Chain A
Amino acid sequence: MNSNTIINYTFRWILILTVQVLLLKRIDMMGGWFYYMSILLYPILIIILPLRLSTITVMAIGFLTGLYIDMFYDSLGVHASACVFLGFTRGIVLAIISPREGYNVSYSPTIHQFGLLWFVRYTSILMGLFLFFYFSMEAFTFYYIFDIIGKTIISFIVSMIFIIIYMFIFNPKE
């Protein structure tokens, strides 16, 4: 990890976290049709963490990231729990969809390293699980299961569009 990489990571985290809490959060505040739509871009930070990090490390990073987001969303613990869940499922999903020859541990799971199709498959599984868990924690009861599913589907579509756009614009290598 050279100085270039550190600058890259710092820039990426500051940019995405700022965009998330200052811009994308405002979408949540709108009423009407936006009730079902939350744009969550920041999980991409955890999703494309380098493969060499252990699941426990990823969960710890996720926990801190989630707490940071929660401070702005006034929902202490909700994003954090979803991020910990994301870190845990990341390990499982990576193991399930691993290529036959295994991963090169110096890589990060990005479009640059693994191609668009693989990346979309990998990210959509994680984002689907993440969003369902997040909205479940937000509702905190399965009494509103149809609301939860509706929010998950719509937010999933919009969030995936934002993630793909981000990946195409910045095309992070690791």
Chain B
Amino acid sequence: MARFFGNLSWFGSFLVFILLEAVCFFLIYQFNQRQREILIHSSNLASGYMYEKYNQGRNYFRLEGIADSIANENAQLVQRLSNDLNPPLLILEDTLSIQIDTSAQELYKAISAKVINNSVNKNYNTLTLNKGASDGLSEKMGLITKKGVIGVVRKVSDNYALGISLINRQTNLSAAIKRNNYFGTLQWDGTNPTIMSLRDIPKHAEVMEGDTIITSGHSTIFPKGIIIGEVIDYKIEPGSNFYSIKIRLAEDLSNLNYVYAIKHLGREEIIELESSVENE
């Protein structure tokens, strides 16, 4: 190889090569409009790319705040829908008269919260929310997501709230078949976190696989008509007068992120009224 590079070393030839190429680059830059523009444009491309990446990175770190603000916005929308005459999300069919009576008054309030702790593998599963009494949460508020019911707030501290997950042996929720309004009690037998049982539906009611199960509205926790799940299996135990129905939950409770806490604004009044009768 040495022969083709003369008496100078390979490195010497390489240096001459670099030197001549540098002269050529200078000539190209100096005398060729197009290449010069490309060089300037390319450097703009490079800096533009850098800026874009920088902004993407910054936005990534801001995502948390963006998601929070979107969730708050959603909560306001859910609240407005809950108070609409014909809401698509929360169907308040038999509150129509109340709506007319209290035309401008809001009936339900929705607050968004983030699930920061959640369990599905125990008998008494709970979930912890990142908002508490200072954000307006209180006991016995219903917890829902876009897809369906997930639980009830059990206890609140100033900044956090502890909810009972639907899949908790303590759960005792009034639920109805959407098609014919027969209602029963929703319970969990402690095995499969996606399946719950609906009891106390009378034998004469018609039940079909695929029936949608909704909240009955017979409590001050949930408005009527929020989806819980659908019937996947039903039978009548020998000697029983009631169905034993298996329900697959609409929301996957093992994968929760943002939830809405629903507050019935007339709850205290109703409870006061009911207890006043009991005390008589």
Contact = CB atoms under 8 A, between A and B. Distances in A.
A66 B23 CA distance: 12
A78 B32 contact: yes
A160 to B, nearest CB: 23
A66 to B, nearest CB: 8
Task: State the majority secondary structure of interface residues on B.
Answer: helix
Given A51-B4, A80-B27, A140-B39, 18 more contacts: A54-B6, A56-B8, A57-B6, A66-B24, A75-B32, A76-B27, A76-B28, A77-B23, A77-B25, A78-B32, A81-B24, A81-B25, A84-B24, A88-B14, A91-B1, A91-B4, A92-B1, A140-B34
Nearest to B2: A95
A140 B29 CA distance: 10
A140 B39 CA distance: 7
A21 B169 CA distance: 92
Contacts of B3: 103, 105
B38 to A, nearest CB: 5
A70 B3 CA distance: 30
Contact of B13 (A63, A88, A94, A141): A88
A103 B38 CA distance: 44
A20 interface: no
A171 B32 CA distance: 37
23 contacts: A54-B8, A55-B6, A56-B12, A59-B17, A63-B24, A75-B28, A76-B31, A76-B32, A77-B24, A77-B32, A80-B24, A80-B27, A81-B21, A81-B25, A84-B21, A84-B24, A87-B17, A91-B4, A92-B1, A95-B1, A139-B38, A140-B38, A140-B39
B35 interface: yes
Nearest to B24: A81
Contacts of B45: 143
A141 B45 CA distance: 11
A92 B6 CA distance: 13
B5 interface: yes
Contact of B42 (A55, A57, A88, A141): A141
A137 B17 contact: no
A9 interface: no
A77 B14 CA distance: 19
Give the interface size bracket for A toward B: 20 to 34
Contacts of A92: 1
Contacts of A87: 17
A68 interface: no
Contacts of A88: 13-14, 17
Contacts of A95: 1, 4
A85 interface: yes
A92 B21 CA distance: 17
Contacts of B12: 56
A11 B24 CA distance: 28
A84 B272 CA distance: 96
A55 B13 contact: yes
B19 to A, nearest CB: 9
Given A77-B25, A80-B27, A137-B28, A55 B20 contact: no
B273 interface: no
A141 B8 contact: no
Contacts of A139: 38
Contacts of A66: 24
B279 to A, nearest CB: 83
